[in-house]
Amino acid sequence: MKYLKNIYLLFFFPLQLFGASGEGLDHAPHLDGSILTIFWIIPFVGILLSIAIFPLVAPHFWHKNFGKISMFWAISLLIPLLLNKYIGFSITLYEVLHVGLLEYIPFIILLLALFTISGGVSLKGSLVGKPITNLLILLIGTLLASWMGTTGAAMLLIRPLLRANKDRKYKVHTIVFFIFLVANVGGSLTPLGDPPLFLGFLKGVSFFWTTSAMFLPMLMVVCYLTILYFLIDSYLYKKEDISAIENIDNADMEKLSLEGSFNLLLLVGVIGSVLLSGFWRPEIYFSIFHVHVELQNLTRDILLLLLSYISWIRTPQHIRETNEYTWFPIVEVAKLFAGIFITIIPAIAILKAGDKGALSVVIQSVSNESEPINFMYFWLTGILSSFLDNAPTYLVFFNTAGGDPMLLMTDYYNTLLAISAGAVFMGANTYIGNAPNFMVKSISESAGIEMPSFFGYLVKYSIPILFPIFFIISIVFF
């Protein structure tokens, strides 16, 4: 009978996609995390380790096959889910549709919009890599990152920064601090800034809660890093051939200009679209197999796609050529995160089961007699974000903390702050902590800069520079 029911659902599912508007989620076939063993998270761990290891040990193989690897791990989970007698077709279908329609698709659409629009803006002109100039570029990028995304801000400013420092002997440290500030810490203030925060927004965290809560921790980290950078760069600048740099400074230079500036208006449209979905609550939705897709979220996604299309057709092609714009980064993110969002399903379900789940040790490590240990939330979220990926890591600990956005924004304010800060800040600890990190490294290496290895970056820069700052942050705030 079970198999006849599955056949019925498979063939007649299209006829029952759209449920009545009053259909609730109470009867949705949820996955019960208490029945799952720890082995169900193997595909999730597998895809994250693949992302961490393959680009380092087999970059050519990874470049050609990352989509197939992502699909392999997704299928390695879906087939056992479908065949399991306690789970089967209905629960698997619901969980995949739920994560796909409510999290994955909105997540990718926002990244696509930010990537497309920011790729249509080009900063031209001659810059000289003096300490004050480099510091200004880092600060501008840090300010922009929360509003155009860390990827958008990094792609906009990395090439002008490289041009400014092309005649500098010591410039690796500048790229590293660019990764620290622009590609990570700068994205702290809004859900637009960094993928983990947008996932929190999709889960119900207020747009401006992020702005107000993250402001002071971000300000403290930015102050420490910018002061330290300016001292280091000033010291190294004095060891340069300053006369040669000054001669370049006095030569004929191209004036600074911004091409494709109308895309900045489109970025305002992106902000407005996201805000719209947060404040407009028409209480209209349609159901797809118990999954409610709300009108405000559908409207947001359509507007973001429209803004992306306008940017694509209205931006002169030579601007994107100047930015070396390709679709590869967004395609890579889309394929990899499809696998991540599917394979994370059992991990989320197990964490929701709390002490009854196979990951009860995680729950116990971040709580003491039902009270959260925010210091541990900050460091565990951060360390895992450093070596895996900060977006799914945020989701894991968001659900570990209960997954109720209203409760987390009020009674457990510091817990959500610890999770958010850990995911965003510590994505800077390694090249794989956040997507723009590796992109900045690759662009810098293509410009002839010998960037440190994975472990060189960690040992020479992250541990001695970032870890003491994060320890201070954890003492002050958590």
pLDDT tens-digit series, residues 334-383: 888 899 889 988 887 887 777 787 877 777 777 776 677 888 999 988 98
- 249, pLDDT greater than 60: no
Residues 420-430 have a mean pLDDT of 92
Burial code (b: 16+ CB inside 10 Å, e: under 16) for 85-118 equals eebbbbbbbbbbbbbbbbbbbbbbbbbbbbbbbb
- The pLDDT, as a whole number, for residue 224 is 95
End-to-end CA distance of the chain: 54
Name the 3-class secondary structure at 336: helix
Residue 320 CA to residue 107 CA, distance in Å, equals 23
| Strand, helix or coil for residue 257 | strand
Higher-confidence residue: 430 or 127?
430
Please give the residue that has the higher pLDDT: either 222 or 456.
222
For 447, how many CA atoms within 13 A lie in the half-sphere containing its CB? 23
- CB neighbour burial string for 414-448, b if at least 16 within 10 angstroms, e if fewer: bbbbbbbbbbbbbbbbbbbbbbbbbbbbebbeeee
Residue with the larger pLDDT of the pair 124 and 212: 212
**Cα 374 to Cα 217: distance, rounded to the nearest angstrom:** 14
For the stretch 279-334, pLDDT in tens is 788 878 788 888 888 888 899 999 999 999 999 999 998 888 877 777 877 788 78
- Distance (Å, whole) CA 31 – CA 410: 28
In our burial notation (b when 16+ CB lie closer than 10 A, e otherwise), range 259-269 reads bbeebbebbeb
Strand, helix or coil at 368? strand
Length of the chain: 478
Contacts of 257-262 with CB under 8 Å at 24 or more apart are 257/123, 257/124, 257/125, 258/121, 258/122, 258/123, 258/124, 259/121, 259/122, 259/124, 259/316, 259/319, 259/322, 260/120, 260/121, 260/122, 260/315, 260/316, 260/319, 261/121, 262/314
Picking from 24-28, 301-305, 316-320, 443-447, which range would have the lowest pLDDT averaged per residue?
24-28
Tell me which of 420 and 247 has the higher pLDDT. Answer: 420
- Stronger pLDDT, 125 or 346, i.e. the higher one: 346
pLDDT of residue 22: 40
* Interatomic CA distance for residues 335 and 64, integer angstroms: 12
Spatial distance between the Cα atoms of 180 and 187, rounded to a whole number of angstroms: 11
- Cα–Cα distance for residue pair 258/144, rounded to 1 Å: 15
Q: Indicate whether 4 pLDDT > 70.
A: no
Confidence of residue 414 (pLDDT cuts 50, 70, 90): very high
Q: Position 416: which residue type?
A: L
What is the pairing mode between strands 18-19 and 291-294?
unpaired
**pLDDT of res. 237:** 82
Contact (Cβ atoms closer than 8 angstroms) between residue 202 and residue 103: yes
With the CA atoms of 34, 35, 39 and 40 taken in that order, what torsion angle do they form, in degrees rounded to the nearest 10? -90
Residue 293 DSSP SS3: strand
Give the per-residue pLDDT at 461: 93
- The residue type found at 34 is S
pLDDT category at 17 given cuts 50, 70, 90 is: very low
The CA distance from 420 to 188, in Å, is 8
For the stretch 257-267, pLDDT in tens is 778 888 888 98
**How buried is 8 (Cβ within 10 angstroms: 0-12 exposed, 13-18 middle, 19+ buried)?**
exposed
Mean pLDDT taken over the chain: 83
The mean per-residue pLDDT over the stretch 252-256 comes to 64
Segment 453-461 shows an average pLDDT of 84
Between 372 and 425, the higher pLDDT residue: 425
Q: Which of the four pLDDT bands, split at 50, 70 and 90, describes residue 242?
A: low
Among 7-11, 23-27, 411-415, where is mean pLDDT lowest? 7-11
Rounded to an integer, what distance in angstroms lies between the CA atom of residue 318 and that of residue 62? 30
DSSP 465: I
Among 103-107, 201-205, 251-255, which is the least confidently predicted range?
251-255
Tokens 């810490």 correspond to: 185
